[in-house]
Amino acid sequence: MLDYAIYRIAVLLPTLLAVSLAVFLVLHLVPGDPARNAAGPDAEEEDIALIREHYGLDQPLWKQYGTYLVRLSQGDLGESFRSRRPVLDEIMRRLPATMELAGFAMLLAVLVGVGMGVAASMKPNSWVDDAIGALSAFGISVPVFFLGLLLMLLFAARLQWLPPSGRGSWANLVLPVVTLGLPYVATFARVTRSTMLEVLSEDYIRTARAKGLMRRTVIWRHALINAAIPLVTLLGVYFGRLLGGAVIVETIFAWPGLGRYMVDGIIQRDLQVVQGCILFFATAIVVVNLVVDLLYSVLDPRIARG
Amino acid sequence: MTLAFKRRSLLAATFAAATLPAGAAQAASDTLTFIEGSDFDTLDPAISRTRSAEILMTLMFQRLVRWKDTSLSGIEGDLAASWSTSADGLRWTFRLKPGVRFHDGSAVDAEAVKFNFDRLRDPRLGSPNRSLFTVITDIQVADAETITLTSGAPVAGMLEILCESSASISSPAAVQRFGRNYGRNPVGSGPYKFEEWTPGERSVLAGASPSARFRRIIYRPVPEAEARVIELESGNADIATSIPPEATARVRANPRLKLVVIPSSFQVFFELNHKRPPFDNPRLCRAINHAIDQQAIVDRILGGFGSVPDAPVAPGVQSYQAQAPYRFDPDFAKREFAAAFPGGFNETLVMWTCSGRYLKDQQVAEAVQGYLNAIGLKTEFRVWEWASYQQTLYRRQQGGTGFGSSAAHMWVLGTSIPTADWRLSRRLVTGQSANLGGYSNPRIDALLNGARTELDPDRRMEAYHEANRILWAEEPPNLFLYNQKQIIATQRGIDNFDAFAFEVPLLNEVTKA
């Protein structure tokens, strides 16, 4: 188990190095002059040249990457062209908002999704199952921006129960979290249902039932634990997608998170910001997947041994 | 059933309770909540380039001088009590109002003003606004209330430069104390002082002088246009800007809201490439302006929220004078092309546009393509993403595309610059930095360069008027498309809303019932 963990952590560094190189190259090959964007459309050539020099954008590419790596090793993600502030500071400032959003959306997906999946698997083909099936089909297929505006129109403009956008009280959280989480609620419900149906037909479940265990114990202790592995896998895979979805949700609901910061950075060609954000997201996804892999071996010790 | 009902109303009540504090605070008449599409990156006036930041900087800072009103009819003292110019026009001496203090308590004196201009001109700061201020070659402080700015040549537009928001005077003590973090901790001497800024969420200014009409002004960036309208509908905001034309009917139908439409200095046009046929011929530059129906574009594509250009600059730009609009006459345009090219113009016109940068830019460009095809011109159309578009248009190298060496015949651009010199000279004087179409006209060069050093305001304005007449009726540099309008929605109780044509509102003038 320990060896496995150490091995996995050791692989982390080259992975992130490769990510940093890829991000760097892609961003520098994308058309658009960052210095001109920083200076604005009405700027003089002289001012633009000054900015180019200030940020080393006139240096050869390999040199820029070298400087970038050296700084990175010191925990410095560079400075935003527009705000002239350290990118890491700016990321840290916005991180809580994104974590709050993604965390609660994930929690919603797991609790409600798994609950719905279990409920549906209890009585397959009943009206409960059908209703949950319909709801999850809706959740998977409705585009996030549409759902977001729909919820906003209904709960904020029409009923006026919830604030339409922004961050502040917990009421502000409801709409963005539901918007972001709903597709994953649906996915989790579907996966839970099918895995549960499979597990429930296994021999050991029949044995457990035959022993006279309570239904609840059979479902939660015996069946769900065994159905958990594909769910944990999903958790790892979807964490990345959830962060991607957060970019859209943050824009719709004026949520002051990292996703919006990155999108603004892309539009403005604020290289250091985009670079920093992508590297940050990549690190987060790699780390979450590491944790998920390690969790497997807790859930199923055969994985670490094999 | 009753239980379910009770639960539901309980839920509703909880939601209501949770939203109440925010709603109640914003309903108070001493707090103004203002919503815009974009956030800013810094509130340091020296390095900021964003209009959204300018809205707040106008409230927090003072400059030496400022525009008297939103029609730019004149300039009045802000920090300066009076000023005078030396006979040769090289030295501007300002007397500061005594006793003015920054919000941190330090004095706004001549040294503080000098500190700000020195900082702006310092290449180490790398300010994108620097070149505006490099015309100032020397700064002398005579005493605490007297400062003299010297330039190498007379600068007729000196006061206009000093009206720019980048010329705002920051507290030197705060700049030194916060260093790189000054943009997050701005300290000025305006009617409002900076209180807090959570990027992407909100900024709060607090009233700091008796002239402040509100105890608090809250600025919230809400990027999604639809969400801005909903914020108003749900009573969460007092004023929201950049309302999309398609949402205006809903605002008008809502008895609690009202719509305010104000002219913008934004004019959108196809810039023409004057270095290659057909637009190296001024006659065809005029002809093409007859080929499109601008009124139809304004009515059908912009939903009426624009106006047909009647001058090479929009109303609200210094030196604007209305002239006779181009009449829509495609047959005339066709005849003009036939006269210039007896065998027909057989090249394909390459048209470029950006998408989403200006109001309905791509749709308008597509309509123009239709009009040009209708007079028998072959066209090719390309849509660009803004950053690559900009880079391509400004590329200077041979074989690149800027400055008349462009691969395109015409490309969509817009500008909102309100001062005559900056707006016209950079785009139209031969060889200037933003003269992308390679426009070169000795009369225009003489008029605009002359106006730069003409210290008599009337004679200077006359030169601009004459230039505008030539640029409109004789040798137009552009195919003029439309003038934008600012569409703003407010709660019914909001009155006196006014904004500069360059889309900076005067929030302290607003009244709230």
User: Residue B201 and residue A256: Cβ atoms within 8 Å?
Assistant: yes
Residue B53 in domain: no
* B368 and B235 part of one domain: no
Distance, CA of A218 to CA of B149 (rounded, Å)? 86
* Residue A136 φ/ψ, nearest 5 degrees: -75, -30
pLDDT in tens, A195-234: 888 888 888 888 887 887 777 777 777 778 777 888 888 8
- The residue written with tokens 């297929």 in the block is A141
Are B154 and B134 members of one domain?
Answer: yes
Using the predicted structure, report yes or no on whether residue B7 has a pLDDT greater than 50: no
B478 shares a domain with B373: yes
Q: What pLDDT was estimated at residue A147?
A: 92
Domain count, chain B: 3
Residue labelled with tokens 């300010």: B127
- pLDDT reading at B9 higher than 70: no
| B280 and B240 belong to one structural domain | no
In a domain, B179, yes or no: no
| Model confidence band, residue B401 (pLDDT cutoffs 50, 70, 90) | very low
Averaged pLDDT, A145-165? 88
Instruction: Say what the pLDDT of residue B49 is.
Output: 82
Q: Is the pLDDT of residue A306 over 60?
A: no
Residue B453 lies in a domain: yes
Q: Which structural domain, as residue segments, surrounds residue B233?
A: 8-37+191-263+486-512
Query: Is A29 within 8 Å of chain B by CB?
Result: no
More confident residue, B100 or A12: B100
Pick from B11, B19, B175, B355 the residue to mutate for testing the A interface (most A CBs within 10 Å): B19
Contact B394 A36 (CB under 8 A): yes
Whether B19 and A40 lie within 8 Å, measured CB to CB = no
Question: How many CA atoms does the CB half-sphere of B494 hold within 13 Å?
Answer: 30
| Phi, then psi, of B116 in degrees rounded to 5 | -65, -45
Choose, out of A37, A51, A54, A82, the residue to mutate when testing the contact with B (most B CBs < 10 Å): A82
Distance between start and end Cα atoms, chain B? 43
Q: Is the pLDDT of residue B129 over 90?
A: no
pLDDT at B285: 96
Single out the residue in B126, B149, B174 at which a domain terminates.
Answer: B174
Gap from A133 CA to chain B (nearest CA, Å): 24
What's the confidence (pLDDT) of residue A305?
57
**Min Cα separation B439/chain A (Å):** 17
Percent of chain B with pLDDT over 90: 68
Per-residue pLDDT tens over the stretch A79-138? 888 888 889 988 998 899 999 999 999 999 999 998 898 888 888 888 888 888 888 888
- Identify whether the C-beta of residue B495 lies closer than 8 Å to the C-beta of residue B507: no
Fill in the amino acid letter for B393: L
Q: Do B127 and A32 touch (CB under 8 A)?
A: no
Cβ A133 vs Cβ A127: under 8 Å = no
Q: Identify whether residues B478 and B416 lie together within a single domain.
A: yes
B283 and B369 in a single domain? The answer is yes
Answer whether A217's CB lies under 8 Å from A185's CB: no
Is 60 exceeded by the pLDDT of residue B2?
no
> Is A107 touching B (CB cutoff 8 A)?
no
Band of pLDDT at residue B397, cut at 50, 70 and 90: low
Q: Say if the Cβ atoms of B227 and A54 lie within 8 Å.
A: no
Tell whether A92 is within 8 A of chain B (Cβ): no
The answer to whether residue B51 sits within a structural domain is no
CB contact under 8 A, A161 and B12: yes
Task: Note whether A256 contacts B15, CB cutoff 8 Å.
Answer: no
User: How far apart are the C-alpha atoms of A171 and A173, rounded to whole Å?
Assistant: 5
pLDDT tens per residue, range B18-67: 444 444 444 578 999 999 988 888 999 998 888 899 999 999 999 999 99
Q: What pLDDT, on a 0 to 100 scale, did the predictor assign at position A48?
A: 81
- Give the CATH number of the domain where residue B118 resides: 3.90.76.10
Residue A1: what pLDDT?
66
The pTM of the full predicted model, rounded to 2 decimals, is 0.82
Which of B18, B387, B417 faces A32 most closely, judged by CB atoms?
A: B387
Task: Tell me the domains of chain A and their CATH numbers.
Answer: 2-73 (no CATH), 88-299 (1.10.3720.10)
Distance from C-alpha of A72 to C-alpha of A16, rounded to nearest angstrom: 11
Q: Give the contacts of B218 (CB within 8 A, at least 6 positions apart).
A: B26, B31, B32, B33, B34, B202, B203, B204
Sign, Cα dihedral of A198, A201, A203, A206: positive
Please give the pLDDT value at position A304: 58
Domain identity same for B469 and B376: yes
CB contact under 8 A, A42 and B415: yes
The rounded percent of chain A whose pLDDT value lies above 70 is 97
**Looking at the structure, do residues B235 and B112 belong to the same domain, yes or no?**
no
- B387 closest CB neighbour out of A37, A40, A93: A37
The answer to whether residue B448 sits within a structural domain is yes
Q: Considering the domain boundaries, does residue B384 fall inside one? A: yes
User: What was the pLDDT predicted at B254?
Assistant: 93
CA-to-CA distance for B345 and A163, rounded, in angstroms? 59
- Phi and psi at B507, nearest 5°, equal -70, -25
Helix pair angle (A224-252, A271-299), 10° resolution:
170
Per the domain annotation, does B336 fall within a domain? yes
Locate B270 and state its tokens: 């196809």
Chain A hits for B435, CB-CB cut-off 8 Å, are: none
Pair of tokens at residue A303: 């994985």
If we measure between CA atoms, which residue out of B55, B18, B238 comes closest to residue A168?
B18
CB contact under 8 A, B199 and A93: yes
The per-residue pLDDT for range B237-289, each reduced to its tens digit, is 999 999 988 889 999 999 999 999 999 999 999 999 998 889 999 999 999 99
Residue B70 · residue B500 · CB < 8 Å: yes
Banded pLDDT at B396 (limits 50, 70, 90): low
Alpha-carbon gap: A122 to the closest alpha carbon of chain B (Å): 25
Contact B403, B375 (CB under 8 A): no
- CB atoms near residue B17 (< 10 Å): 11
**Euclidean distance between CA atoms A66 and B34, whole angstroms:** 44
Q: For residue B227, list chain A residues with Cβ-Cβ distance below 8 A.
A: 149, 152, 164-165, 252-254
Judged by a CB distance cut-off of 8 A, whether residue A269 touches chain B is: yes
Q: H helices within B84-171, ranges in order?
A: 110-121, 130-133, 158-163
* Out of B22, B234, B426, closest to residue A169 by CB: B22
Interface of B with A in 398-457 (CB under 8 A): 415, 417, 422, 426, 433-434
**Whether A27 contacts chain B with CB within 8 A:** no
Q: pLDDT tens digits for A261-271?
A: 998 888 878 88
Q: Please tell me the predicted confidence (pLDDT) of residue B11.
A: 43
Q: Are residues B284 and B240 in the same domain?
A: no
Rounded-to-10 torsion of CA B499, B505, B509, B511: 100
| Residue B405: per-residue pLDDT | 66
In this structure, what CATH number is given to the domain that contains residue B428?
3.10.105.10
Question: Tokens for A37?
Answer: 């964007």
For residues A108 and A184, what is the distance between their CA atoms, to the nearest angstrom? 8
Q: Is the pLDDT of residue A169 over 70?
A: yes
Chain A residues whose beta carbon lies within 8 Å of the beta carbon of residue B434: 42
Q: Number of Cβ pairs closer than 8 Å across A and B?
A: 163
Confidence of residue B17 (pLDDT cuts 50, 70, 90): very low
Of A133, A100, A141, A137, the closest CA to residue A258 belongs to A100
Q: Which of A33, A94, A166 sits opposite B391 (nearest CB)?
A: A33
Give the residue from B119, B140, B174 where a domain finishes: B174
Closest-CA residue in chain B for A269? B387
Q: Three-state secondary structure along A150-193?
A: HHHHHHHHHCCCCCCCCCCCCHHHHHHHHHHHHHHHHHHHHHHH
Token duo for residue B329:
């006459």
Give the pLDDT confidence of B149-189 residue by residue, as tens digits: 999 999 999 999 999 999 999 999 999 999 888 999 999 99
* Residue A164: φ, ψ to 5°: -65, -40
Helix axes A258-267, A271-299, angle to 10 degrees: 140
* Phi then psi dihedrals of residue A245, to 5 deg: -65, -35
Report, as an integer, the average pLDDT of A145-156: 90
Nearest to A27 by CA among A98, A86, A81, A76: A81
Q: Model confidence over A235-255: pLDDT tens digits?
A: 888 888 888 888 889 988 989
Q: Is A32 on the interface with B (CB under 8 A)?
A: yes
Q: How far apart are the C-alpha atoms of A129 and A120, rounded to whole Å? A: 4
Q: Does residue B50 form part of some domain?
A: no
Of B118, B146, B174, which marks where a domain is finished? Answer: B174
Instruction: Say whether both B199 and B167 belong to one domain.
Output: no
Cβ-contact B282, B339 below 8 angstroms: no
B139, B276: one domain? no
Determine the residue among A28, A29, A58, A85 to mutate to test chain B binding: the one whose Cβ has the most chain B Cβ atoms within 10 Å. A85
- Are the C-beta atoms of B192 and B205 separated by less than 8 Å? yes
Q: B210: how many CB neighbours lie within 10 A of its CB?
A: 7
ipTM of the complex as predicted: 0.75
Q: Mean pLDDT of all residues in chain A? A: 85
Distance from CA of B227 to the nearest CA of A (A): 7
Q: What is the DSSP letter of B481?
A: E
CATH number of the domain residue B25 falls in? 3.40.190.10
- What does the pLDDT read at residue A55? 81
Q: Are residues B367 and B470 in the same domain?
A: yes
Residue B70 has pLDDT above 90, yes or no: no
Q: Note whether A66 contacts B: Cβ–Cβ < 8 A.
A: no
For B:126-155, CB contacts with A below 8 A are 126-131, 134
Averaged pLDDT score across all residues of chain B: 89
Decide if B386 and A267 are in contact by the 8 Å CB cutoff. yes
Whole-Å CA distances, B334 to B275, B287, B324, B399: 21, 8, 21, 32
pLDDT value for A151: 92
